[in-house]
A and B are shown apart, each in its own frame.
Chain A
Amino acid sequence: MKATKTLGAGFIALATPLLVLAAAMPAAQATDVTASINLTSTCQWKIANTASAIVLSSNGKKYQGDDLALSQDTTLTVGAGLGSSTDGSIPSSYLGSTTDCSFFNNIKGVEVTASLSNQAGFTATNNVGDVEGGMGFTFSAANPLNLEVLSDTFCNSPYFDDVAASTNQEVPVVALGDYSVVVKSKSIPNFVEAGVADYTAAKYKIQCLQQFQINVNIPSGLIPVKPGTAYEFSGPVILIAMTTPDQ
């Protein structure tokens, strides 16, 4: 037992000089460990094709004292994809999802709503610039300003609750007097695969293109002071708002 201890002490005694020797030798070579990676772009929701002015048309018909239908079609596009812009514009690449993107575990859904400003009707201005109260009109239950969904594309994919139209075939009419949800997403994947040639596969369609129509009637019974001339009708502002709630 003692011998063992002695040997042990001997090893220590011998080892110490070795360490000292080592300290005097050149330093060891060290290698830094690094990695280079490409980051997938961040997914961003965008809305596009929202016009600054919607001019309703009567399709060439003139007002003659009877109901006159006014309407205008417009397209609203909501998509997720690559983009550095935050101004609301939507790059063309969004529409084809040509680039990968990821929510990086901070997945956001999207909800697009349409609402009206406080002006609850149209004012009419005649050809000499006078506002004619007799030609203006307000919205009513019988004559609302309508948001009518004409068609949508990809909005019935697994990633969207097609709020306005439960199926592509339905053509609902939503009175814009109340706040209306136009597009709403549901479960969105964290990573959106890109470069997929077959875009008809619903799982890659993280976008919703919805064409809708704004329509209203100029009601019957209005009497123009300046018949035979043109009248400008000025209505409310329609607000298209997008929110991106956490998922």
Chain B
Amino acid sequence: MNAKRAIGSAIVGLAAPLLALSFAGTGVATAASISSTIAAVDSCSWQISSVPVSLPMTPTIAGSKFDGNKLDVSGSISGLTIGLAGTATPETAIQGLSSECSFYNAIKNAKIDLELFETDTFQASYVDADGVTQSDNGYLMKISDSNPLNFIITGGSESCEAQLGMFRGSPVGLTGLVPTPSNPAATGMVGTVGWTDWVAGRYVAGEAPRCTATYTFSMYMPEVGSGASLEGYGFSYTFTGPQVSFVLSQN
């Protein structure tokens, strides 16, 4: 029994320094920084496909010739697309693919205004027998309230109407000019295609709203008479008119 006590004392005597090392102070502490790397979805943007550089109008009734009487002319832009995609890959909106995007709760609607620029009058010209282009200022073909440049949207997917609120099937007439630097005094009506009114916050790739339709423009050539006449009977005429601009806005 005494021996046990002696041994016990020896152990305590040796162990005390170890204990002091192991449990001194308040122990140990470790620190871990908290971080994360997250990808943010691209922001949504409305896109419009490239508008053709020219819009040739021809007699609405194919093969008709102008004989001095009123003649309807028209021309179409097919495949013009309004679509939604991420800003980093805007072309996908036009290609029917779209890309993943989000409005980040700042939903933007889109509309397209069609605006006439520079002139509301068509300049008539013809190529004479000598092959020389001749201007014919005696015939006036002008956009006006009585002869507006009408456009109508036809065809296209259901989303054009159901999702994008297009004025599909309802003709809209352009009758005036939009002021420009070269024509600041111009005032007139702007044709609006329509506002989007059904847009959620986020779209996965390929599922964003998209509308492809045909835009048909029409007006008529006024009859000859009442001060209007043509010089180049028998020749082919070209009427060069205003510029029509498709203006996409988002808000």
Q: Which residues of A contact B (CB under 8 A)?
A: 35, 37, 39, 42, 44-45, 47, 50-58, 62-66, 68, 70, 74, 86-88, 103-106, 108, 110, 117, 122, 135, 145, 214, 218, 220-224, 226-244
Enumerate chain A residues within 8 angstroms of B12, measured Cβ to Cβ: 104-105
Going nearest first, the 3 A-B pairs with the smallest beta carbon separation are A228-B42, A227-B43, A235-B34
Enumerate chain B residues within 8 angstroms of A229, measured Cβ to Cβ: 39-40
Q: Are B28 and A39 in contact (CB under 8 A)?
A: no
Q: Which residues of B contact A (CB under 8 A)?
A: 3, 6-7, 10-12, 14-16, 18-19, 21-23, 26-43, 86-88, 100-106, 201-202
Chain B binding surface SS class? mixed
In the complex, A52→B33 CA distance in Å?
6
Enumerate chain A residues within 8 angstroms of B88, measured Cβ to Cβ: 228
Q: Are A44 and B23 in contact (CB under 8 A)?
A: yes
Question: Which listed residue (B10, B19, B36, B202) contacts A42, Cβ 8 A?
Answer: B19
Enumerate chain A residues within 8 angstroms of B102, measured Cβ to Cβ: 64-65, 227
Enumerate chain A residues within 8 angstroms of B100, measured Cβ to Cβ: 62
Q: What is the CB-to-nearest-CB distance from B132 to chain A, in angstroms, rounded to a whole number?
A: 56
Enumerate chain A residues within 8 angstroms of B15, measured Cβ to Cβ: 39, 42, 104, 106
Q: Are B40 and A39 in contact (CB under 8 A)?
A: no
In the complex, A234→B33 CA distance in Å?
8
A47 in contact with B201 given A65-B102, A226-B40 (CB within 8 Å): no
Enumerate chain B residues within 8 angstroms of A104, measured Cβ to Cβ: 11-12, 15, 19
Q: Are B30 and A54 in contact (CB under 8 A)?
A: no
Q: What is the CB-to-nearest-CB distance from B161 to chain A, in angstroms, rounded to a whole number?
A: 28
Q: Are B30 and A37 in contact (CB under 8 A)?
A: no
Enumerate chain B residues within 8 angstroms of A228, measured Cβ to Cβ: 40-43, 86-88
